[in-house]
Structures are given as C-alpha cells and as structure tokens.
Amino acid sequence: MAISPNLRKYLRSCGTSYDEIPHSRTFAAARAAHAAHVSGKNVAKGVMMRAGDDYVLAVLPSSRHVDLARLGASLGCDVRLLSEAEAAMSFPDCEFGAIPPLGEAYGLDFVVDDDLLDSRLHDEDEIYFEGGDHRTLIAIEATDWRRMMSDARHCAFAV
C-alpha cells in the first residue's frame, strides 16, 4: 500500500515534498526506525486518545510514551488511550495500527509533544513517520514539519 491516499493528498496540499523509505514489516514506530536505519529521536508516532468527550491524536517521538496525567493536566480533562480498533475508525485508508501523526490529514484534533518542536531539531534534519502501512516510513524536512505544526497545540507529555 505504501503511503495512504489521505496522507498523500494532505502532503501535496501543504506543498511538502517527501520520500518514502521502505523497510521490513514492523508493528511499532520505534522498530520501524531501526528497520529503516534512522534515528528514533526523529521518528514521530501518533497515538489516538479520548480527551474528555473528544478524540485527540497525541504526536510524540517513537521512543517515548504518553504520560496520561501530564497530557490530561495540559488539556484540562481526563485522557485515556483508545483501543487499536477504536483508533482504526479514524484512519480508514491505513493498515490497522499504522497511524500517521498528521491529524489534519484526517480532520482530527491533535497535540504535539514539545520534543518534536525542539530547537535542537536542526533544519537539515528530517522527521520520519508511518505512512499508513507497516512497511513504509515517510521522510520530510524538519522545516516542513515545523511549518505544518506551527499552529498545533503543544505541551510536554512524553516520557
């Protein structure tokens, strides 16, 4: 499948160029980074959450986990992880569990962990993320990532 149609359309509408990086089949973003021989600190993953009565996509480095208490405190409501089946409903053109971290591509509210917007992320760096299947990472330039995330809610919630 490679990149999902919604994700491809969204990246094109943003004027963002990207590379598709094939790798052996994996079922976790951190393992995908290893399989594609890229640094895990620059791999973003999306985790679907229930925040109060709403859904929100939490976007964080693949090597980290969501601290539910910190995220809930930042959002001002209780949060919980959605099951894989619940999350899959928001990503109909993606393989089960291969969630791209670009909420706008799917009409979702999202919040980005501060580490993915950190000043230590250099312009020449790339950000990688699942493209909608378990065999392809998408690579975009850090400048494009920052531009696409410029209006995003953000806070420190990853541990």
Tens of pLDDT, residue by residue over 40-95, are 678 899 999 999 999 999 999 988 999 999 999 999 999 999 998 999 999 999 99
Comparing C-alpha atoms, which of 17, 25, 18 is closest to residue 1?
25
Angle, CA 143 vertex, CA 5 and CA 138 arms, to 5°: 30
Domain ranges of the chain: 5-155
Q: What is the pLDDT, as a whole number, of residue 21?
A: 87
Q: How far apart are CA 32 and CA 24, in angstroms?
A: 8
Q: How far apart are CA 29 and CA 34, in angstroms?
A: 9
Q: How far apart are CA 142 and CA 146, in angstroms?
A: 6
Comparing C-alpha atoms, which of 2, 3, 24 is closest to residue 12?
3
Looking at domain 5-155, what is its CATH homologous superfamily? YbaK/aminoacyl-tRNA synthetase-associated domain (3.90.960.10)
Q: How far apart are CA 117 and CA 125, in angstroms?
A: 12
Contact yes or no for 118/64 (Cβ under 8 A): no
pTM of the model: 0.89
Using a pLDDT cut of 90, give the percent of the chain over it.
69
How much is the average pLDDT of 8-19? Answer: 96
Q: What is the pLDDT, as a whole number, of residue 123?
A: 66
What lies within 8 Å, CB to CB, of 53 at 6+ separation is none
Contact yes or no for 116/157 (Cβ under 8 A): no
Q: What is the mean pLDDT of the chain?
A: 88
How much is the average pLDDT of 24-40? Answer: 60
